[in-house]
């Protein structure tokens, strides 16, 4: 069992930056691949980033590639999402999630993830 807690959300102007953190407890985070998702009002969950267990491999959709960076510190049991050049369309609740195993084709699917945090709100003003 893994408990995930996100933090770092807030209100920022367009063009600004935020760094989200996802702290894990219960089991060592290095046992899991990790993803970030977001959900805007009235929309479905959207895949934002994924990182392998070691941190050697990362993946992003085109919508955030070049602006967002996922990283992890397994010693601290924490995963991060650095978000730069934020846009109003990035406004959403951001969730981190842990998966025992995913593939290139399944990492974007919310059903592949076993544990989820409660989410943190990110609001980008224009």
- 45-82 pLDDT tens trace: 999 999 999 999 999 999 999 999 999 999 999 999 99
Closest among 23, 53, 50, 26 to 36, alpha carbons compared: 50
Give the span between the Cα atoms of 79 and 54, in whole angstroms.
Answer: 11
Residue 1: band (very low, low, confident or very high) from pLDDT cuts 50, 70, 90: confident
The overall longest dimension of the chain from CA atoms, in Å, is: 40
pLDDT score of 104: 87
Tokens 């933090």 sit on residue? 7
Mean predicted confidence (pLDDT) in 74-102: 97
Residue 123: band (very low, low, confident or very high) from pLDDT cuts 50, 70, 90: very high
What confidence tens digit (pLDDT) does each residue in 14-46 have? 999 999 999 999 888 899 999 999 999 999 999
pLDDT score of 98: 97
Asked if residues 46 and 92 have their Cβ atoms less than 8 Å apart, the reply is yes
């Amino acid at each position: 069992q893994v408990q995930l807690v996100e933090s770092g959300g807030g209100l920022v102007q367009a063009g600004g930056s935020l760094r989200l953190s996802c702290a894990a407890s219960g089991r060592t985070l290095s046992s899991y691949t990790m993803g970030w998702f977001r959900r805007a009002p009235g929309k479905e969950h959207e895949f934002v980033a994924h990182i392998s267990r070691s941190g050697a491999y990362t993946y992003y959709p085109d919508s955030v590639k070049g602006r967002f960076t996922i990283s992890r510190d397994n010693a601290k049991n924490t995963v991060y999402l650095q978000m730069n050049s934020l846009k109003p369309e990035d406004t959403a609740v951001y969730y981190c999630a842990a998966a025992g195993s995913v593939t290139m084709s399944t990492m974007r699917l919310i059903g592949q993830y076993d544990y989820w945090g409660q989410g943190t709100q990110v609001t980008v003003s224009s």
